[in-house]
Amino acid sequence: MSTICEHPNEASISVHSLAPHFHEAAAQWAERLGLPLGSDTAFALQLGAEGLQLVERGPQAPGPVRVDFVEGAMAHRRQFGGGTGQMIAKAVGVQPGIRPQVLDATAGLGRDAFVLASLGCAMTLIERQPLVAALLADGLQRAALSSEVAPITARMQLLTGNAIELMQGWTQTPPQVIYLDPMFPHRDKSALVKKEMRLFRPFVGDDLDAPALLAAALALASHRVVVKRPRKAPAIEGSKPGYVLEGKSSRYDIYPKKKLEPTG
């Protein structure tokens, strides 16, 4: 997930509670994000019974965007998405006896990270755009209350900050695989992504520092770096991928460093 500026425009968005008993928690989000509470703005970060959601206000505005790992599209993908046969699983190296430790350095709304966590990968997520990170943090918190999904999201640790800086200053054991999806919004024609593009456009843009992101990932990952790209887009400037997995609309550029081996 990329960013035009790493802090939301205070003149264009404010935080709102959808019921009186959410007011205190909404005020905490407003303070945490440095946003006004209850102001009349073009966009609103709303807190209600279904969690935290971003909306554009106005009669022609699309519906809200929230992170939901328990129901809806993510539940369907968890149950019917294809398991270890999915391209993303093959790209990061999921095999019998191999569930790599993965750093998703462009986490966005966490969908790809959730898919990998549901397959058993230990995931660290980095998101630098504060609004998106807030939606993701809220989604993870609500998912922890679900007996079915909590074991999956327990494998997902969220860090908020600049991925390049965090990777360059990494002090933990290096992740085996670093996953990058640096273009946002996706050039995708689905209604869901169109809605997200419209809502996030004022706050996020394309990753102009993608080459530096790739370089930092290659320096840190112990086994491989995986970059998700639109199928016809050029590779990120810099090192060339070792091989490519290509699908109908997207592909995975893979930069191998070391062979993944089964554990145990």
Confidence bin at 50 (pLDDT 50/70/90): very high
128 labeled binding residue: yes
Percent of the chain with pLDDT over 70: 84
Is 19 among the domain residues? Answer: no
Q: What's 115's domain CATH number?
A: 3.40.50.150
Residue of higher predicted confidence among 260 and 83: 260
> Residue 112 in contact with residue 181, Cβ under 8 Å?
yes
Is 2 among the domain residues? Answer: no
User: Which region holds residue 140: left if phi is over 0, alpha if psi is between -120 and 50, else beta?
Assistant: alpha
For 190, the 3-state DSSP assignment is coil
127 labeled binding residue: yes
Residue of higher predicted confidence among 62 and 223: 223
> Residue 207 in contact with residue 184, Cβ under 8 Å?
yes
Report the 10 Å Cβ neighbour count for 189: 8
Task: Give the residue-averaged pLDDT of 238-260.
Answer: 95
User: How many domains are contained in the chain?
Assistant: 1
What's the pLDDT at 62?
Answer: 77
Is 59 among the domain residues? Answer: no
Task: Give the residue-averaged pLDDT of 238-254.
Answer: 95
Is 50 among the domain residues? Answer: no
Residue of higher predicted confidence among 172 and 59: 172
pLDDT digits (tens, 9 = 90+) for 110-136: 999 999 999 999 999 999 989 999 999
Is 137 among the domain residues? Answer: yes
pLDDT digits (tens, 9 = 90+) for 182-228: 854 445 555 555 666 667 766 765 567 899 999 999 999 999 999 99
What's the pLDDT at 141?
Answer: 95
What's the pLDDT at 169?
Answer: 97
pLDDT digits (tens, 9 = 90+) for 79-104: 655 678 899 999 999 999 999 999 99
Confidence bin at 4 (pLDDT 50/70/90): very low
Question: What contacts 59, CB < 8 A, 6 or more positions away?
Answer: none
Tokens, residue 221: 């990952």
Read off the amino acid at residue 213: L
What's the pLDDT at 176?
Answer: 98
99 labeled binding residue: no
Nearest to 41 by CA among 4, 78, 72, 11: 11
What's the pLDDT at 3?
Answer: 35
State which residues form the domain around 222.
Answer: 73-256
Average pLDDT across the chain, whole number: 87
Is 261 among the domain residues? Answer: no
Q: What pTM, to 2 d.p., does this model score?
A: 0.89
> Residue 33 in contact with residue 130, Cβ under 8 Å?
yes
Q: What is the 3-state secondary structure (H, E, C) of 227-249?
A: EEEECCCCCCCCCCCCEEEECCC
Task: Give the residue-averaged pLDDT of 46-69.
Answer: 90
What's the pLDDT at 82?
Answer: 63
138 labeled binding residue: no
What's the pLDDT at 72?
Answer: 73
207 labeled binding residue: no
Is 14 among the domain residues? Answer: no
Nearest to 199 by CA among 40, 29, 75, 42: 42
Q: In what order do the strands lie in the sheet with 224-230?
A: 156-160, 123-127, 102-104, 177-180, 224-230, 250-256, 243-246
